[in-house]
Each structure stands twice: as C-alpha cells, then as structure tokens.
Amino acid sequence: MPSKQLIKKTVLSAALATSTALAVVAAGPLSAGAQESAPLDPAALDPAQAEAVRELVRDYLIENPDVIVEALQIYEQRQQAAEAERRQAALVAQRGALNEDPSSPVLGNPEGDVTVVEFFDYRCPYCKSIATAMRELVAEDPNVRLVMKEFPILSQESVDAARAALAAERQGLYEEFHFALMERGGSMSEPEVMAVAESVGLDLERLRADMQAPEIEEALRRNYAVGDAVGITGTPAMVIGNTVVPGMVSIDRLRELVAQARAEAS
C-alpha cells in the first residue's frame, strides 16, 4: 500500500485543484502499485483497489485534518495571486478608460505626473470623510492629477446627486459643487442637492436640464463598467498608479502611494 508521505503529497496536490478538498480526495485516488515518487493514473485501479485507497485516504485525513486546512490555505493563496494578476492585467487594459475619459472631471493639475482615480458616492459617509484628505492632497502636491469617477451605488439619491455633479461640470463649477456636497451630512434629496447647487452659484434651470442629458447617463455607465473591470466593489476606492486602493486611507498613506507611483513611472 502507498506510504503516508505519498498519500499526503497526493491529497495536497488534488485539493489544490479545487475549493472542495474532500471532493477531490474522493475523485483522485492513488494506485496501489505506484512507486513512492509519484501517484499513478486512477484509471489503472479496479473498483476494489480504488475503494481501498479511498478508505486509506479517508482514515489519513481523519487522523491528520491539518492536511485539508493546509491544502485550502494554499489554494486560497493561489486564488489571491491569480486575482492580483487579473487586476493588474485589467488596470493595463482599462488605463485609458480610467485616466482619459473626457466625461470624468479632473481636479488638481490636468498635466500632473501622477494620476489618482477616485470612485465615490455622495451618500457614502466614508467618501465624505476622505474628501478633506483628497482636497489637501491636490492642494499640496502641484503634480497630482485627480480624476473623479462618479460611482453612485447606494441609492437613487446617489444617482441623482452624481447626475447633478456631472451637470455642474458643464457650468464650470464641478469642484465647488463636489466638495459642497461632500460637506453635507445625511440624505441627498432633490431639494437639498438644489440648495447646495444654488449656494455655489449654479443656474438651477440649466442644471436640471443638463442632468437629463444622455451623455451623463452614458458617463455613469462607463464608470460602472470600468469599476467592475478593475475590481471596484465599494466606495471610496482609488486607483493610484498600478495599485487599487479600496476603502478609506489617511493623507499620509495617500502621500506614500503617490510617491510610489511617481517612483514606478520614473
């Protein structure tokens, strides 16, 4: 019969091929005539041999359950590595959509040497919290180019506020309107959004008309598509250089990421 060392090697190898280690063990038996160096083709076993090996593997796993844990940990690591590779490939493929979509407002230096892409929702409290840091970043670093990706995912109010912000860009007041919205707490009802718009000097009649423009609807669809492609699942989230940054980060961490992206590009 195969040695315990060979059984462990085979069980690990099989379990890594699937997220359900036990199912793999049942489907991947060893050959009783195998050499100690490698498992043989399961097709070489007759039913009685296959059942005997299954029982041996089952007994081994009952005695050594850490084998399954080890296998699943390695499987998870491989899955994470594969996902990281997929994201990097997606960042390369989506670079133009991330950085150069003309419908995405740009704050800071339009010719800056580091592009930060921010995905946000006006009803997201964490987005509101990070807004001060984003404003500080572009104020202190004259070479940061901040691309704003309206990514309304929390409610219809989020969508309406995003439409209003993109419409405000047509009047040259996007930045003022954006940060004024971020400074507000609570809901983003239509009267509240319009009150903010009026406070920053927007023409409300024109704003309401522009909010219905098909180009704004298409801009939001592109933002959803590019966010999905690079793995954005919530807000806030950023893409800085070759790094996807989910969740809130401090101003110090933002500075580090910008410096890293600048170094990688040089």
Q: Which two tokens stand for residue 195?
A: 């009150």
Convert the pLDDT of each residue in 11-66 to its tens digit: 555 544 433 443 344 444 444 444 444 555 656 677 887 788 788 878 888 888 88
Write the DSSP string, 132-161: HHHHHHHHH-TTEEEEEEE---S-HHHHHH
CA distance 17 to 65: 18
What digits encode the pLDDT tens for the residues 109-157?
999 999 999 999 999 999 999 999 999 999 999 999 999 999 999 999 9
CA distances from 248 to 132, 134, 228 (A): 12, 11, 19
Residue count of the chain:
266
When pLDDT is cut at 50, 70 and 90, the band that residue 9 belongs to is low
Which residues are CB-neighbours of 17 under 8 A, at least 6 positions away? 24
Burial class (CB in 10 A: 0-12, 13-18, 19+), 160: middle
Region 235-258: what's the mean pLDDT?
Answer: 95
List 119's β-bridge partners, or say none: 149, 237
Q: What is the pTM of this model?
A: 0.72
Of the candidates 46, 11, 21, 22, the residue with the CA atom closest to the CA atom of residue 32: 46
- Non-local CB neighbours of 231 within 8 Å, separated by 6+ positions: 83, 86, 87, 90, 244
Whether the Cβ atoms of residue 161 and residue 122 lie closer than 8 Å to each other? yes
Domains and their CATH numbers in the chain: 4-89 (no CATH), 100-265 (3.40.30.10)
Q: What are 222's two structure tokens?
A: 């592109």
